[in-house]
Every structure is written in C-alpha cells, then in structure tokens.
Amino acid sequence: MNEIKWVKNTMPKTNDAQLPVMAIDEVKKARTFHESFPQYTMTPLAKLDNMAAYLGLKEVYVKDESYRFGLNAFKVLGGSFAMARYIAKETGRDVSELDYETLTSDKLREEFGQATFFTATDGNHGRGVAWAANRLKQKAVVYMPKGSTQTRLKNIQLEGATATIEEVNYDECVRMAAAAAAKTKNGVVVQDTAWAGYEEIPSWIMQGYGTMALEANEQLQEAGCDRPTHVFVQAGVGSLAGAVQGYFANRYPESTPKVVVVEADVAACLYKGAVAGDGEERIVDGDMQTIMAGLACGEPNTISWDILKNHVSVFVSAPDWAAAQGMRMLSAPIKGDPQVVSGESGAAPFGILACIMTMPEYKDLKEELGLDENSKVLLFSTEGDTDPERYKEIVWDGKDYK
C-alpha cells in the first residue's frame, strides 16, 4: 500500500505580492455577483459532531459543494466570475455593475458581441465554464485529458459546449486550449492555472472560489465557531488551495488557521516543490492516472504558489486509497451526523484527516499540526458524485486501491 507522504513548509518567504488577489473586498465582489444568479443558494456546511468525537477532535466541518448551482461541484464559481470580469473589462465597466440579469441581457450581448471561451478540464471546471457560457449566451470549447469519463464529457456537451477527450494529459490540454484561443477571433482562455504572462484571468477565478470560503466562514460563526484552528484543502494546480489560504490569511492575519494542502500522489507538484525547499516550482508530467481526476495536474499556478509557500503549514501527497476511505466515511456517517456525498477529489482531505487521527504511523504529522481535542477543523468537499458509476464502485462495491 502506498503511504501518505508529508512535508513541513520550510520554504523561504517572499514579499507576498499575490496575497491581495484574495483581499476580503475582492472576495465580497465575487460573492455579490454569485448571489445575483437565480440559481444561487449557500451550500451547506455539514457539522460532524460525532465524527469529531470519534477522531479525537473538538469540531469537524465539511463544506458540501455537491449542491452548487445544481452542478455537483464548486468550480462554476471561478469560471463564471472570470467571464463576468472579462466582459466588464472589455465593456469599460466594474464587475459590480454586471449582475446576472445585466450579463444575460440582449442589450449587453449587442454591446459585447460573442466570445469563445476555451478551457481544459477533467470535468468540473469545464462543466462550470460551459454552464456559465450557455447562460451568458457565449461559446465554450473544452479539451479533456486522456482517461476522462464519458459521463463528464456528456455533462459538458449538454451545456452546449464543444468538448473532446484528447490523447494527452491535463497540462497538454491547457496548452492546446491556449493555442486554439490564439487562433480564434474573440478567443479567450479561461483556465484556473496561471503562468508567466497569463495571470489576470486565473486571479479572477481564484476570487470566484473565494465565495465558498467566505460562505464557510460565515457558517462557522453562525455555528458558534469563532474561527477554525485547521483548514484542509485539496490542490491540483493549486488555485483553490491558494484562494482558500489567501482568504483565511487576509481574514485572520494575526491568527491564521494552520492550512494543510492535499494532492494526489501521482501529481503532487506542490508537495515536490515543498520537499525541494528552495521556493522554486516543480513540475510533474506523464499520464498521472488517479481516481482524483480533478487533482491530476502537474504544473503549479504561479499566483497560488506564491501564496501557498508563504502561508501553508504542511503539504501532503495522498494515495488513492486515502481518498476512497474519505468517500466511504463521509457517505456512511456516524448516527446523528449528516451525510456528505463526496467524490474522489472532494473527499481526499477528509480521508487524510481521518488517517492522521486514527493511524499510529502518522502520529508525527498529528503532533506537527497540533491536532487534538481542542482542534476545530474545516474541510471542503469540492464535488459530489460527478462520476456516479465510479462513486458506486468505490462506496458500494468497496473497490480496493493501493
């Protein structure tokens, strides 16, 4: 069985130039934009009191994104806000002037025209971009990496997008999307990874993700939790992790929660960067076959990487079996706790938390993080059963992973 690997963050700090991307005022703009959608409701924050007691923790909360806009995943928050900010910029407006009704109006369509939004995805981000483009009367073209499922492909096509599964990995699909956009009139890349020269749209996507962190923080306070002591968050390219870390570092600058970033072991580019310890990015390539398809990304987002190396406590490389364990435990909660239907990428952080608290071989990590009966832990289940057959295979049939 592959082991869970972890490394304490000892990387040199920078001047934190990217932290203002997730300033509270910027996140509030995104939240106001999302609230203007007729489909908007705040997703639930599951309070797992009995699970917390079982694991030896004070409180455990899981933000359940399977309810987001009927799309079963959080990703639409980023793509929709980035499109709105792009259209705002092109039409000389502030995004606060572009609520859902204005954006979807014939008047704005006449003024702005039509763009084609290109993206690469394993499923959730592409579906979110396709959904938002469809609502905003724009076009979307989506490239999916080798190993993507037909279910996820069809869900994107049902939103009116052009979508294909390619014979290359995610990072190559990103390059294909960028090349195709460059050759298309009014072609725009909407990708949640950033690289030198492509950082504005990814920063807007991260701000969109901030809606989820802002909601969770409000819900914690309503539940009587002044702030979490620990936040576990998953990472592919790191955009979500950077958004969540950035929000909490801005929200609690004097007492920022300890943040643990969890990656799929075959695509653990952030973990590898942290192991190297010099602050430089590391890249993972190859097929990156993992059940955590949403985390199978090998090239870090440059904006997020800067935020993460300044603020994260520990980076974790997670094997597939740990994600599967998280899925099963959340799907069959201790009596009295709410159920969370969490997909492979969604459940990975909870799986890691459960392993840390119950497996003696990870006692050193538990001590490093100070996880004990006083800890209040927040996690994000970023997707539901976005691939229902695989979900049943893991949760119902008990499919084994190494």
Written as one string, the DSSP assignment of 368-393 is HHT-STT-EEEEEE-BS-SSHHHHHH
Query: Which residue is listed with tokens 């998953």?
Result: 234
- Measure the CA–CA gap between 81 and 132, rounded to whole angstroms: 9
pLDDT of residue 402: 79
Instruction: Mark whether 366 and 227 lie in a shared domain.
Output: yes
CB atoms within 10 A of CB 47: 19
Strand-strand pairing, 162-165 and 258-264? unpaired
In a domain, 119, yes or no: yes
Question: Containing domain of residue 366, as a range?
Answer: 5-74+201-395
Give a yes or no: residue 400 inside a domain: no
The identity of residue 80, as a single letter, is: S
State whether 319 and 182 are in the same domain. Answer: no
Q: What is the value of pTM for the model shown?
A: 0.97
The answer to whether residue 401 sits within a structural domain is: no
DSSP annotation of 363? H
The answer to whether 211 and 238 have CB atoms below 8 angstroms apart is: no
The residues annotated as belonging to the active site are 75, 122
Report the DSSP pairing between strands 187-189 and 116-120. Answer: parallel
Q: For position 157, what pLDDT does the model report? A: 97
Q: In the prediction, which pLDDT does 123 show?
A: 85
pLDDT at 122 (0 to 100): 87
- E-only strand ranges, 192-303: 230-234, 258-264
CB atoms within 10 A of CB 10: 10
What distances in angstroms separate CA 261 from CA 167, 176, 282, 337, 402, one per listed residue?
Answer: 29, 28, 16, 25, 21
366 C-beta neighbours (distance < 10 Å), count: 19
Based on the fold, state whether residues 235 and 383 are members of the same structural domain. Answer: yes
- Asked whether residue 208 falls in the same domain as residue 148, the answer is no
Six token digits for residue 12: 């040199």
DSSP 2: P
Strands 59-64 and 45-47: antiparallel
Task: Tell me how many degrees the CA angle 124-44-401 measures, rounded to the nearest 5.
Answer: 50
Q: Which residues pair with 195 in a beta bridge?
A: 198
In sequence order, which ranges of 163-238 are alpha helices (DSSP H)?
Answer: 170-182, 200-222
Last residue of a domain, one of 196, 216, 250: 196
Q: Classify residue 268: in a domain, yes or no.
A: yes
> For 106-131, b where at least 16 C-beta lie within 10 A, e where not — what string?
eebeeebeebbbbbbbbbbbbbbbbb
Cβ–Cβ < 8 Å for 137, 109: yes
Say whether 256 sits in a helix, a strand or coil.
coil
The domain spanning residue 233 has which CATH number? 3.40.50.1100
pLDDT means per 10 residues, the chain with 402 residues, are 95 98 98 97 98 98 97 96 96 95 93 96 93 94 94 95 96 96 96 93 98 98 97 97 98 97 97 98 92 93 97 98 98 98 98 98 98 98 96 96 84
Pairing of strands 139-144, 258-264: unpaired
Task: Report the alpha-carbon distance of residue 83 to residue 95 in Å, rounded.
Answer: 10
| Token output for 231 | 């936040």
Q: Which helix (H) or strand (E) holds 187?
A: strand 187-189
| In the block, residue with structure tokens 């924050």 | 45
Residues 159 and 256 grouped into a single domain: no
Name 61's Cβ contacts closer than 8 Å, sequence gap at least 6.
45, 46, 47, 48, 216, 219, 220, 223, 225, 228, 376, 377, 378, 379
Same domain, 227 and 127: no
265 with 157, same domain: the answer is no
- Of 196, 212, 247, the residue at which a domain comes to its end is 196
402 inside domain: no
- For residue 195, give every residue at least 6 positions away whose Cβ sits within 8 Å of its Cβ, in sequence order, or none: 299, 302
Count up the domains in the chain and report the number: 2
